[in-house]
């Protein structure tokens, strides 16, 4: 069989930008832990122990029950702890509070996004270009919805106004928007009044706002002293059951445990139920033993 021949039934599946770079680097001699290489191409911010941070987890022991499948939605204690973390950090003054029913646990960010994509109906969904490279291939796999790119202008600093987004939502009939915030790779942040207006606008026009917030802890415009600045749309949600806001985050960036493959999705209970149902046929649930070990890491 010549190199150009394909195996019947299979298409050529491209690697995403980051994975392609890592694959090529390995072919050129890169190995993790090598003193001769620095990995600046992958978002895995491991720097070892940090003063004042919790000690790194270096060993685990397992209850025999944890050899079983995890619940598709994740361990209830973990789901409740995540809900309480968001309430404490962003919603302590709001009457509407998240509970475990508003949280689903997944096996990493890509799995969380895949679950969300699989749960979407026959709609138009907007997403930005440029944005996280995995989005484009992911959005092309599922045929129930139509992905509609929204081009960002370099001359405008890759920023888009809420009024422009409103025109996209109304003019293209968008029923969902997928945005990474802060945006990967441009680094733009929607925060403060702009973020509040975005949440309000998508709620008013019944367009679900799906936010990849994996970099929401890496905000460099905050005060030099005091607690670090963080940004989340959770701070601007009025009613956790009615506002169509879906938030995705996980251990990968802020907690520096990318290999554990633990992420979470936060949103209205009805949406979480649909996302969990998608997980039942897509992935079968997140890593079971690791879930109980991160409860203390989620203490605000």
Q: Using one digit for the tens of pLDDT, what is the confidence trace for 206-220?
A: 999 999 999 999 898
For 177, phi and psi rounded to 5 degrees?
Answer: -130, 130
More confident residue, 42 or 231: 231
> Confidence band (pLDDT; 50, 70, 90) for 2?
low
Q: Dump the DSSP string for 80-118.
A: HHHHHHHHHHH-TT-SS---GGGEEEESSHHHHHHHHHH
H or E stretch covering 204: helix 192-204
Tell me the domain boundaries of the chain.
12-42, 71-298
Q: Which of 6-15, 71-80, 163-172, 236-245 shows the lowest per-residue confidence on average (mean pLDDT)?
A: 6-15
Distance CA 251, CA 297 (A): 9
Instruction: State the pLDDT at residue 134.
Output: 75
Confidence band for 264, pLDDT divided at 50, 70 and 90: very high
**CB contact at 8 A, 46 and 39:** no
Q: What is the pLDDT, as a whole number, of residue 92?
A: 93
Q: Looking at 162-166, 237-241, 256-260, which range is the least confident one?
A: 256-260
Structural domain 71-298, CATH architecture = 3-Layer(aba) Sandwich (3.40)
Give the DSSP per-residue string, 114-173: HHHHHH--S-EEEEEESS-HHHHHHHHH--SSEEEEEEPPGGGTT---HHHHHHHHHHTT
Entry pTM: 0.90
* 82 conformational bin, left if phi > 0, alpha if psi -120 to 50, beta if neither: alpha
């Amino acid at each position: 069989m010549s190199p150009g021949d394909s195996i019947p039934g299979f298409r050529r599946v491209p690697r995403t930008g980051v994975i392609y770079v890592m694959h090529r680097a390995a072919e050129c001699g890169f190995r993790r832990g090598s003193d001769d290489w620095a990995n600046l191409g992958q978002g895995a911010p491991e720097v070892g122990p940090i003063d004042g941070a919790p000690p790194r987890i270096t060993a685990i022991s397992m209850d025999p029950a944890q050899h079983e499948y995890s619940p598709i939605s994740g361990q209830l204690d973990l789901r409740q702890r995540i809900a309480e973390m968001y309430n404490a950090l962003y919603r302590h003054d709001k009457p509407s509070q998240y509970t475990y029913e508003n949280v689903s646990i997944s096996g990493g960010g890509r799995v969380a996004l895949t679950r969300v994509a699989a749960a979407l109906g026959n709609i138009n969904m907007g997403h930005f270009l440029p944005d996280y490279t995995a989005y484009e291939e992911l959005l092309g796999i599922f045929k129930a919805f139509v992905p509609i790119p929204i081009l960002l202008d370099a001359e405008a600093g890759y920023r888009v106004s809420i009024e422009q987004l409103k025109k996209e939502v109304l003019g293209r009939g968008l029923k969902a928007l997928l945005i990474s915030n802060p945006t990967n790779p441009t680094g733009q942040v929607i925060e403060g009044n702009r973020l509040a207006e975005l949440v309000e606008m998508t709620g008013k026009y019944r367009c679900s706002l799906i936010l990849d917030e994996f970099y929401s802890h890496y905000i460099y415009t905050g005060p030099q002293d005091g607690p670090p600045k963080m940004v989340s749309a959770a701070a601007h949600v009025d009613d956790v059951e009615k506002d169509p806001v879906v938030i995705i985050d996980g251990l990968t960036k802020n907690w520096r445990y990318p290999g554990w493959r633990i992420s979470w999705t936060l949103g209205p209970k009805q949406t979480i139920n649909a996302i969990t149902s998608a997980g039942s046929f897509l992935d079968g649930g997140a890593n079971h033993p690791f879930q109980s070990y991160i409860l203390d890491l989620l203490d605000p």
